Chain A
């Protein structure tokens, strides 16, 4: 489906806020990469460099009350949602000050105060749980919405189909957001998915589905605002497929051999971050000094968070017995 003609347009403040969230994702990603490469952090890392527009635009519309369920390539989604970076860094470093006391790590981050409810390492598993959170939002009589992030490969998992069916049937305030970066791990999208657009699958579940240029903040803004309003007004779920590209492969260390010659370089030519920055300046939405100050502030925040995380203590070995159940394990 194409976007509605009366789609809302972002003003300068909205665009600047979306850019701020993108920059926060990118600066944080850069710091994680350099810290890993210096040997100061050991973790499986699934960078989302190149995909920043998607969570940044969605999070612009969310409050702390709104919730997300995300996946192993999900740090971008948390950072976009303004999750504090200090406990994030402590968690990815496996330290006691981490959001999860070092027990979850980068693939299982949780931070309920900012609505980060579940991060799953299992492809496709964010969606059934997001439905339950959305069901609770409805039972509570609230206007909360829930975002279920998932990759394009996950649309081939049974849980995707069960979740869309149930969400539509129960008119749940959930938005299924797929940053489609063209690859399910190392398999090209067209070799693993029977339709050319994931959004077409929405038709089978009686819900609106849109394929959006996930690197275009204006297009994203229009579709996301419509989907959010629909969810908050009790009209039910939306499936948003947001096309994009991941610059660092599936997992850090990936040699990208499954990509076509020149494909990555061509994608990087269209890196949404510098392009958006330039357009913001060209169209006069923001000035260079404001952006420079924004960048300095974010870099200081990231550096402080990194130092905090790496300086945090390791968890005590006793922690292995805690949080298995509400009551500590006996043996």
Chain B
């Protein structure tokens, strides 16, 4: 994939219309200008190499110099290791791992080191790195380029997992990840990249661990995140037509997740559907479903339902890829089933 990021369109209302990649670019510019400890590294990310395959880092090396913005060899362990070491010495590196599947190549660095060094050192050292990575089915990139692995990272102690769905959140949450004293993995997703929105020019950090209520409702709670929020929003008109009052929650941060907001919503509606693009079995939805079942067993009017991908690699053929992704009409059907 190769996409050029163009400058966001600015209007005179104090907002700029941009897509999520442009929001990432804006956040990086803002963070690097505000704090000279912020570094950016990754494959092809400097301007001579094109400012990243998606253009998300375009302009940074020209503006902030080749020492702070470094293109790297294709060496995922070296990238994350360099980020960890620089972080231990007081910097705030933002490392781009082109695609989420390639983070598995650096799993030792992420899981055994970045996520554990604070604890294992008894709090003497910290690793304030941000790992930006892209994933998501929908572009026919098949088995090794499109997995949603947030469940792997959410299972690990010591790393925060963030998965925004819209340009405002992309910008605000990325700013928070960069400022956070702990390692964060920031998941950019195919299905949410190009939906434009008005982003306030002075958009600041959005707190990690806080969900966003996209729409309030009283019959049913749907919890989702990342690209699946976009698809859930597509399903809302059909749900309204079917007479369902849906409360849609975009979790935004997968770990730590906003239990309070989800529990308060289900306490109100009595019904919960969790929908994610990741494989359903052993996915993050299971954690949310189990928590809600444990805490609100007496309140639930129906068993919690989960929608997620089948337990197979992401397929190539469009017809199979479409079947892999939970589609809006499946959410509508699941919601109706929950109503009995």
Contact = CB atoms under 8 A, between A and B. Distances in A.
Contacts of B122: 98-104, 110, 323
Given A99-B122, A125-B109, A139 B78 contact: no
A110 B113 contact: no
A125 B113 contact: yes
Contact of B81 (A140, A159, A322): A159
Nearest to B82: A132
Main secondary structure of the interface of A (DSSP, over half): mixed
B298 interface: no
A158 B91 contact: no
Interface string B105-126: 0001100110001111111111
Given A103-B120, A323-B118, A117 B88 contact: yes
Interface in A70-115: 98-104, 108, 110-112
Contact of A166 (B67, B73, B87, B88): B73
B91 A165 contact: no
A137 B85 CA distance: 10
A166 B80 CA distance: 12
Interface residues of B, number: 43
B317 interface: no
Given A165-B73, A325-B158, A132 B123 contact: no
Contacts of B119: 103, 323-324
A243 B178 CA distance: 43
A129 B157 contact: no
Interface residues of A, number: 47
B28 interface: no
Contact of B85 (A100, A120, A131): A131
Contact of B125 (A98, A117, A127): A117
Contacts of B73: 162, 165-166, 169
A163 interface: yes
Contacts of A276: none
8 contacts: A101-B123, A118-B113, A132-B81, A133-B86, A162-B76, A166-B73, A323-B123, A325-B160
Given A120-B113, A131-B82, A163-B77, 9 more contacts: A67-B89, A103-B119, A103-B121, A125-B112, A128-B78, A132-B93, A134-B85, A135-B85, A325-B118
Interface of B: 39, 67-68, 70, 72-73, 75-78, 80-91, 93, 108-109, 112-113, 117-126, 157-158, 160, 181-182, 256
